[in-house]
Structure 1
Amino acid sequence: MDLQKLRAWWFRRQGLAHRLDGTSPAEVLRRTGWARTVGGSNPYLTLFARAGIDRATADRAAAEVAICELPSARGCTYLLPAEDYAVGLAAGAGAPRGELAAAIKHLDVTETEIDRLGEAVLSAVTEADEPLQPQDLRDRLGDAVRSLGEAGRKRGVSSTLPLALGLLQSAGELRRVPVDGRLDQQRYGYTRWTPSPLADADLDPDHLAAELARRYFAWAGPATLAHFRWFSGLGAAVAKRALAATELTDLGDGLLLPADQVAEYEEFTAPADPEYALVGWIDGIHLLHRDLGRLLDPADVDRPSPLEPAKRLGELKDPPCQLIMDRGRIVGLWEFDPTTEAIVSRLFVPEDDGLRTAIAETERFIVEQLGDARGSVLDSPKVRSAAVTGLLTD
């Protein structure tokens, strides 16, 4: 396989070649894939890099529920377009059920207790005039919420409330609303979701798995069965049935592409001129496959990680910093330094005018609209200082 062509194709299909200007946030997510959310800037960077979408437009789409952050594939949170809510919720439904099963086994919790608490939560949010944050719910529900003590804290479940909230979200009964309307934090209120996005959905597991496969390969193909299983969290048998129900063509080496894209791919050639994009470390260009090596040139595989110089980039599962891309190749790493309000980078290629422009545009977007560009909810300026120092150190 021609790796240069593959990378440029993935880059193009991901909308990073500036092909999607003028499209809505929901349309960007529908065409290029769900955006992973971990309390950082990735949702905003995803939309800005693909279509120049500003923060106000993204926040408005979330307020109108045209897009929504939901527990989805593997139980992880993603930003989804409305038409994918049912598929996304179904893809993540196993996680809260697994958490409940573990609590029943290890924390003296019963299913009846959580069901009763769930009913009380629904009553509280239905009666409320605004979304209720977890502390609001604890205040209203009183003894119905039970502390799980030190044993629960060790397992990451301090009380019974998160168990009930997780189940109600996956059932499409509750919707999380970001506090202050921002997508780059993890503070939420909860409101009743009426009508539920699952109300009229076909919930047959094989149908939902096939729908997920159809979307995934449209976003990420060519990709392998292993790549799809990583993204979906599906078992081998279910994933194979999903692929069998999807019209895919094997291009070689197990790389599968939707049949209706094959002719276009065969005629496609990688652009001769650079096409730059600055994206988050969990952007779909990486995370849909979670195969970092495919985005690295052989000359870059042995470059040291800015965070752990003893490790080489080719040894890592995930990027150590945010990514600078050119036609699908990682050509640099970056972070935003809030002390200087500037992007700090380490480049693998000579800096030209196009790259300077891409960096400057992203920097301006962060300064004027986001205020900061955190990689995750745990990424404070103090934590990020190590990455900034590492990028500046040869």
Structure 2
Amino acid sequence: MTTARLRAWWAHRQGLDGTLRGASAAEVLERTGWARSVGGSAPYLGLFARAGLRRAAVDADVARLNIHELPSARGCTYVLPEADFALGLAVGAGAPEGELAAAEKHLGVTRAEIGRLCEVVLGVLGTEPLDPAKLRAAAGDAVRSLGDAGKKRGVTTTLPLALGWLQARGEIRRVPVDGRLDRQRYGYVRWAPRTPPSDVDTELARRYFAWAGPASLKHFRWFSGRTAAAAKKAVESLELEPIEGTDLLLPGGLAAEFAAFTVPDKPSYALVAGIDGIHLLHRDLPRLLDPADAQRPAPGGKGTLGAEADPPCHLIVDRGRITGLWEFDADAGKIVYRFFGEEDEALREAVAATEAFVRDDLGDARGFSLDSPKSRAPRLAALRA
């Protein structure tokens, strides 16, 4: 086993080798894992890189609830396929519990108060989305200001606590105001609670190792947010096989395919977001970098690329190896990139295709909700240097 073979296998399982062309958004997410969403372009970029899906097709699947953005692993928002809605909600259920416990301790909020507010919210909501301002007005005195203490903790009223609680239970859901995943403006509607699997952690582990294997228990702990003991228990009933000489585990059903897998001879370039699953499922950046590339300066930062927990820019990946970094210059409508090697025609074609997709379908390729052309300027300058 070599690093190059592991990387190429991960890229293959992630569908970054063209094997998922023509698949639906739900099929891609079921095969490669939930797509992290932070109000940026990552879900669109990931689905385009894997299956060639345009924004209109993805947005239509969102509208049909074939896929949906939900609070799930570690309480973070991901875009999930319909088959995983119940599991995702169950996995993320602990986050609103923790927020409510903190509000009880520091802000004088009681569970009874939030319970009453939840009843009011459910009574107000229907099938037409209400944004937070309209919802607060409709709820009236049931919503209470948390004053300066709340502002310091980032919770100005009791309404977000109730909304988080109801979302985790599947009783309400957020609807993007303009139907897009790369915005953070939402309305809320009533929804139907779903019955979670009987063993949530095991079902999450089963999916995770199919998406990310070979992976370690440490990697699974990062993704799931579970303790060492809980992670170990979650995999006990799974048929995971160790990779000799490593701490990595692979589902037994993939062992024969992995053993026969060889690194493709030809490059297979993909331009994806910095929080794409090829990185974020393990969150172990050096494994995707050659040693020489790990010593490169991080664009817009002070250290080296290999010292970063997460990439400072979007990624160019070839057979699982990070071979370059890129950002989108919204003013020029162009991708600015730095490639870690000698460019070829296949790379230029991949850049051109992604550039056209971002320009024509998205308008910009924001890394996260607060990313902007202005905040991106230092990274663009560093990539051009």
Q: Does TM, normalized by the shorter one, top 0.5? A: yes
Range of TM-score over shorter length = over 0.9
Matched, 1:102 2:102: yes
Residue in structure 2 matching 1:273, options 247, 266, 278: 266
Is 1:227 the equivalent of 2:219? yes
2:194 is matched with: 197
Give TM-score scaled by structure 2 length: 0.99
For residue 86 of structure 1, report the CA deviation from its aligned partner: 0.9
1:175-199 Cα distance to aligned partner (Å, 9 max, x none): 11111100001111111113x223x
Provide the rounded CA distance (Å) in 2 between the counterparts of 1:391 and 1:178: 33
SS in 1 for 2:194: coil
1:323 aligns with 2:321: no
Using the size of structure 1 for normalisation, the TM-score is: 0.96
Candidates 377, 382, 391, aligned match of 2:369: 377
Q: The residue matched to 2:233 in structure 1 has which SS? A: helix
Tell me the C-alpha RMSD between the 2 structures: 0.8
When the two structures are aligned, how many residues end up with a matched partner? 384
Instruction: Confirm or deny that 1:286 pairs with 2:279.
Output: yes
Partner in structure 1 of residue 204 of structure 2: 212
Q: 2:11 and 2:136 mapped to 1: Cα distance?
A: 46
Alignment partner of 1:80 is 2:80: yes
Please state how far the C-alpha of 1:130 moved relative to its aligned partner.
1.1
C-alpha distance in structure 2 between counterparts of 1:171 and 1:255, whole Å: 34
Which of 166, 175, 178 lines up with 2:176 in the alignment? 178
2:4 paired residue number: 4
Deviations 1:306-332 (A, max 9, x none): 111x30111110000000000000000
The 5 A counterparts of 1:241-256 are 241-252=233-244, 253-256=246-249
Distance 1:197 1:334 in 2: 40
Shift of 1:365: 0.3
Q: Report the AA paired with residue 52 of structure 1.
A: G
Post-superposition shift, 1:35? Answer: 0.2
Q: Structure 2 residue aligned with 1:137, among 112, 128, 135?
A: 135
Mapped to 2, the partners of 1:316 and 1:241 lie a distance apart of 31
> 1:148 aligned to 2:146?
yes
- Name segments (4+ residues, structure 1) moved above 4 Å: none
Q: Name the structure 1 match of 2:298.
A: 305
Deviations 1:94-125 (A, max 9, x none): 00000000000000100000000001001110
Letter in 2 for 1:264: E
Any stretches of 5+ residues in structure 1 without a counterpart? none
Question: Is 2:351 aligned against 1:339?
Answer: no
Cα offset for 1:235?
1.3
CA distance in 2, matches of 1:49, 1:153: 40
The residue identity in structure 2 corresponding to 1:303 is R
Residue ranges of structure 2 left out of the alignment (5+ in a row): none
How far off is 1:245 after superposition? 1.7
Deviations, residues 280-314 of structure 1 (Å, cap 9, x unaligned)? 00000000000000000011111001111x30111
Which one-letter code corresponds to 1:9 in the other structure?
A: W
Which whole-Å CA distance do the structure 1 matches of 2:194 and 2:47 have between them?
24
Structure 2 residue 26 is matched with structure 1 residue 26 = yes
Give the secondary-structure state (helix, strand or coil) at the position aligned to 1:244: coil
Percent identical = 62
1:319 corresponds to which letter in structure 2? P
Partners in 1 of 2:187 and 2:13 — Cα distance? Answer: 35
Equivalent residue, structure 2, for 1:366: 358
Per the TM alignment, residue 254 of structure 1 is displaced from its structure 2 partner at its CA by 1.1
Q: Equivalent residue of 1:181, what SS?
A: coil
Aligned mates of 2:336, 2:145 — CA distance in 1: 44
